[in-house]
Amino acid sequence: MITPVPRLADTSTAVRRAFDLARRTPVRGPNPRVGCVLLAPPATAGESGRRVLAEGFHRGAGTPHAEVDALVAARQRGADVRGATAVVSLEPCNHTGRTGPCALALAEAGVAEVVYSVPDPTPRAAGGAAYLAARGVRVTGGVLRDEGEELLGAWWSAARAGRPYVTLKLAATLDGRVAAADGTSRWITGPEARAHAHEVRARVDAVAVGTGTVLADDPALTARTPDGLVPDQPLRVVVGRREVPATARLRGAGGELVVLGTHDVAEVLAALHAREVRHLLVEGGPVLATAFLAAGAVDELHAYVAPVLLGSGRSALGDLGVGTIADAARFTTSQVRRLGDDVLVVARTAGRPRTEEE
């Protein structure tokens, strides 16, 4: 049986196919999720759609970018890409990092047209569209841009802001407590909520807590499944000036331990940005959570609410300096999900893209 050659009806269909390919890219890491489709020159009269020559996507830091991956796939199939159209979910890069510039690769391969969804927001990599146009390649950008930005999620926000996208996790009782009067806090939420929190850890680049939480709870800050640790662990970040005990679980198996001896949120974000952290999960405690909120550095909230009442004990947050309801920190709810007996509320600041959680 002869397998029919795939065809795509129009440009929007091809862009959405590039989005599907991009979703195969790892969520974590410094690079964006990008997909590429190479289309044959326009069909002759009587033929419908554009023939797909090859497809590609980025498989992680240090591997070929989506455009080069697609060009390699075309070469392996013996497909001629001269005069082809490259449809990409993100503007082809124009810099040399771990790999070479994709704009140059496309131009030298003889591609006649490039269609992309989202302009590259990073000063270092942007400029691919202008380079291609200067080489005589027809370039169209901004196709289905809103969908493309949503796909890029935390990476897109981090690239534009020059700092990690910050998700703040709160796990509290109905009356806003994170610990009882005697300091005990395990467990406020149930197993389903805790399992979900581990899924989120597995998708972020780093997990941060304050030294108070380290000393009080001795967390491991690992991402686990019922079968054990996931293979690729996030950085474990401790913020504060107190020492991490030599016997702390943070010094055991898991991701690299990074201790940042500061209380300045801007310094924390700058240090993690320099380490190519694109998505930071802040897990607490209340002092660190309050500091990030007070600094206006929280992009997304994950509030796990348990049907539990304590009446006293430690509050989820400290003083934010809000004196009147008009000054309250407000977020937009994007998801409400039941996890066993608990409820997860996901809320974002205005203008922030959805992350892989949603």
| Residue (of 241, 200, 242, 240) closest to 221 by Cα position | 200
Dist. CA 285–CA 218, nearest whole Å? 12
Parallel, antiparallel, or unpaired for β 314-315 and 177-179? Answer: antiparallel
149 is catalytic: no
Dist. CA 176–CA 92, nearest whole Å? 47
Annotated active-site residue in 55, 67, 300, 357: 67
Residue 74 exposed, middle or buried by CB count within 10 Å (0-12, 13-18, 19+)? buried
In 10 A of CB 213, how many CB atoms? 23
Provide φ and ψ at 179, rounded to 5°: -160, 155
| SS3 label, residue 205 | coil
| Residue 142, beta-bridge partner list | none
In 10 A of CB 358, how many CB atoms? 13
267 CA to centre of own chain: 21
| Residue 167, beta-bridge partner list | 281, 300
Dist. CA 346–CA 262, nearest whole Å? 29
Angle of CA points 88, 91, 95, to nearest 5° = 125
**Residue 37 CA: distances (Å) to CA of 118, 282, 333:** 15, 37, 35
**Residue 225 CA: distances (Å) to CA of 24, 42, 330:** 21, 48, 33
Dist. CA 269–CA 249, nearest whole Å? 24
Dist. CA 138–CA 82, nearest whole Å? 13
Token pair of 248 as six digits: 């702390």
Contact 346, 199 (CB under 8 A): no
Among all residues, which ones are annotated catalytic? 67
